[in-house]
Structure 1
């Protein structure tokens, strides 16, 4: 029986599914693997179900000559923590779980839009600190969401799901910037440049697939194009947004607010960012529902099963 390794604890239903096909070893810690652990995993197991934070870099693969491991099944969509070329050279397949995370991540995108616009984080902190003086007509005045313009950067599965919620749920005008025109069942407008989107949108949502070209795509120059009343939402990857530039824009009131579920150096969040009232900070919980985590696990296990049976995995990346 093939031997596989889960780099973090997963729901028991996922482990049971995997045990029907493999001998499973599930690590108890919830921290990213260290480089020595990743090298060991490549040599000790036929497949590895790995997570965001397990950085399988070229350095990890360098000493893995003809490794026992034949597949890395990533438990997520983004694969920027895996050196795909190095994995390919070592004969290791890489898979992901693109469809399983769409709806839950879109829901978190909407949560951040609403929390940032309506200053919900500030309000909760006020109540918890015992500083709420009671209702008054000018307290925590936020931004109305209904009828505003949302600009979505990247119109893939998640971007389209957010656009659908914005249009049908909040009667918002949807504009987007993407490499190609998307056919959707409701009105949208594809803008020609990122600069146009930033200038027009009341809410800018980063839903872009990560790539080497997206690092600090939203930098100081990009933030300067946004309106003072606009909000930035990031549910993609932390390094797409220049965190230092965002902090400066929020500190100086050059944008109204931000909602973040991802950060440049997770799990580290700058103290300057945590000190700001006009930003909502969530702990990378875009897929944090039991149903979704189980679905992600089932997809990842099926990728493992297919790869180790000599079949083409359903969600092959490299």
Structure 2
């Protein structure tokens, strides 16, 4: 058995490392496509991944070769939901904006004063508090004549946008498996009204087990219309590719926010940017990206887009549980009943 990570290596080097005798325990960043598949020796019988998603693998091609592909489902629910909670609070409370200015000016009052007296630049995706000749580090209220500083600012206003609590707002969760349900639990705990969409509604027994109220929407349009915050927690497939697009974005309430912890291609990035520039969207939190591992430059420059490097499930506890799941899959295949525990192909 071998364990390796591709870590952005050229494909020729990746292929050179595919020399497993029986099993592969993998952390694979690129697509496990036909070219890599052809390099897999006939002795390999199982490939098991620490991740829940497996869209980067040619699952059918592996099955045709008699190779079992396993993922690690469900274990990431708690840490991913924690991540969504953080992004939710940041999008509603603008923590990331306040922190950026506090670090730049090493002051607690000036950032609030700046943001109270500035306006939001929709095109640039950030407050209009700097002129073209100054950057954050050079800025001062005394020398920038374009700003009339307030004597005091409470901090409830960010460049014309009100800071709000998530409580009482609606959240729509697209994808209501283990991760989606845990996201709902945490957001319900801070007072949000949970809506969800999946293939079928929860049964009465499942609703009791859920432990909090959640409204089912069969049609995605209905879910979007009830989502002041939209959380994408579904797999990427032919039916969900670009589920957030120019047309579907119109269904969201004005000033809505979006969080994506699923897969980058669930969102048409250009359509999302257009909605931010029009003001229809007020903010986005992304842990995954359409061109991952590359993050589009414009996303990096905008303050109304919170970006994270795909770390939703990245905790020590989850890594240890995921590794154990992979080992259990291989153990069961070799010394157990010959069947893997979490096969996906």
Q: Is the 8 A contact 2:24 2:48 kept in 1?
A: yes
Give the one of 4, 7, 18 matched to 1:7. 4
Distance in structure 2 (CA, Å) of the matches to 1:38 and 1:67: 17
TM-score by length of 2: 0.80
Cα distance between partner residues in 1 of 2:227 and 2:15: 46
Q: For 1:200, which of 220, 223, 226 is the aligned residue?
A: 226
Match of 1:112 among 66, 75, 87: 87
Partner of 1:90 in structure 2?
65
Preserved CA contact (<8 Å) 2:157 2:163: no
* 2:78 matched residue in structure 1: 103
Cα offsets for 1:259-313 (capped at 9, x unmatched): 1111112221111111111111111111111111111111111112222336211
Matches for 1:279-290 after TM superposition, within 5 Å: 279-290=305-316
Which of 278, 281, 285 is the equivalent residue of 1:255?
281
Q: Is the 8 A contact 1:151 1:175 kept in 2?
A: yes
Tell me by how many angstroms 1:210 deviates.
2.3
Q: SS of the residue aligned with 2:248?
A: helix
Matched, 1:237 2:237: no
Matches within 5 A, 1:146-157: 146-157=167-178
Q: How far 1:105 sits from its partner (Å)?
A: 0.8
Shift of 1:241: 0.8
Is the radius of gyration larger for structure 1 or structure 2?
A: 2
What is the aligned partner in structure 1 of residue 181 from structure 2? 160
* Corresponding residue SS for 1:256: strand
Structure 1 residues without counterparts, runs of 5 or longer: 9-29
Tell me, in whole angstroms, the C-alpha distance in 1 between the residues paired with 2:105 and 2:8: 38
CA distance in 2 between counterparts of 1:63 and 1:290 reads: 32
C-alpha distance in 2, partners of 1:52/1:104?
Answer: 21
Alignment correspondent of 1:316: 343
Number of residue equivalences = 292
Kept in 2: contact 1:149–1:202 (CA 8 A): yes
Distance 2:262 2:28 in 1: 13
Distance apart, 1:194 and its partner CA: 0.7
Q: Is the 8 A contact 2:74 2:179 kept in 1?
A: no
Give the drift of 1:201. Answer: 1.2
- Asked whether the equivalents of residues 175 and 197 of structure 1 are also in contact (C-alpha less than 8 Å), the reply is yes
Structure 2 SS opposite 1:175: strand
1:234-256 CA-to-partner distances (Å, cap 9, x unmatched) read 01111111111112211221111
Name which of structure 1's ranges 231-240 and 44-53 shifts more when overlaid on structure 2: 44-53
Q: 2:237 aligns with which of 195, 211, 214?
A: 211
Task: Return the offset for 1:209.
Answer: 2.0
List gaps (5 residues or longer) in structure 2: 113-152
Q: CA–CA distance in 1 between the matches of 2:38 and 2:239?
A: 25
User: Hey, what's the Cα distance between the residues in 2 that align with 1:46 and 1:175?
Assistant: 45
Paired with 1:252 and 1:5, the residues of 2 have a C-alpha distance of: 50
Q: What is the aligned partner in structure 2 of residue 15 from structure 1?
A: none
Deviations 1:122-180 (A, max 9, x none): 1111112117505413543323201111101011110000111122x122211111101
- Residues 179 and 233, structure 2, Cα contact 8 Å, conserved in 1: yes
CA distance in 2, matches of 1:238, 1:86: 23
Aligned mate of 2:43, from 68, 86, 100? 68
Q: Give the match's secondary structure for 1:298.
A: helix
- Whether 1:296 and 2:293 are equivalent positions in the alignment is no
Instruction: Give per-residue Cα distances to partners, 1:179-204, cap 9 Å, x unaligned.
Output: 01122332111112111111121110
Q: Is the 8 A contact 2:286 2:305 kept in 1?
A: yes
Partner residue of 2:193? 173
